[in-house]
Homo-oligomer: A and B are copies of this chain.
């Protein structure tokens, strides 16, 4: 009551707790919470994303968040959909469905990877957000318009999504593990952790595991992007083979 703008020049008496520094305390809102959550997710990872942490960032207590967000799970869903909002979809062209499907998959993968840990929140969710519906309409429509029976197109969409998110999820686990171990450099982490595994594999009895022991390097090599593309093409080729009108 006493702290008014005009009094700013005079220091407040020290016994009066500065309850609210003159600033009008910017309003909480779901949007603000989401943005803050996303920032934490990007810079500190999913494990650091607690309601308390978000509240702290907003200079308040955790209880305040529950007026705008039902619970943590809902917050994660909102975060996921926010991230999905970053994917850009081209004009649909059923004649080039395979090409477009591939580009879409790579785009989603890219976006998920760009937000390190969000995939870990994603897999735990059944997508109902606006942006994920939009993406669903794109893919599903593409396949249907290319001639695939709707039921089959639905399954194909589901499998493709599972693959994309699953891969991103796995990658984010490595990322998390790396951070937990205190590494900041990918190369360092790789050499430390993966090195251990390689040593272990090499120490296995060769008569019992001839192939594994002989090709440790190939097995253990992370090579993320290449692996993702390989599996993606596996799936796309499979879909193509099942597409009616294809030589069949």
Contacts and interface: CB of A to CB of B under 8 A. Distances in A.
Contact of A235 (B169, B215, B234): B234
A136 B212 contact: yes
Contacts of A223: 155
A180 to B, nearest CB: 10
B140 A219 contact: yes
The majority secondary structure among interface residues of chain A is: helix
Interface string A196-219: 010011001000111110110011
A98 to B, nearest CB: 13
A136 B204 CA distance: 13
A69 interface: no
Interface residues of A, number: 57
A208 to B, nearest CB: 8
Interface stretch (A6-14, A19-27, A81-89, A122-130): A122-130
Given A159-B234, A234-B234, A237-B241, A210 B154 contact: no
Contact of A154 (B151, B152, B204, B215): B215
A242 B218 CA distance: 18
Given A162-B167, A237-B237, 16 more contacts: A123-B166, A123-B170, A137-B208, A140-B211, A140-B212, A140-B219, A141-B210, A153-B218, A154-B215, A154-B219, A155-B226, A155-B227, A159-B234, A162-B166, A165-B166, A235-B235
9 contacts: A137-B209, A141-B210, A150-B211, A158-B227, A159-B227, A166-B166, A234-B238, A234-B239, A237-B241
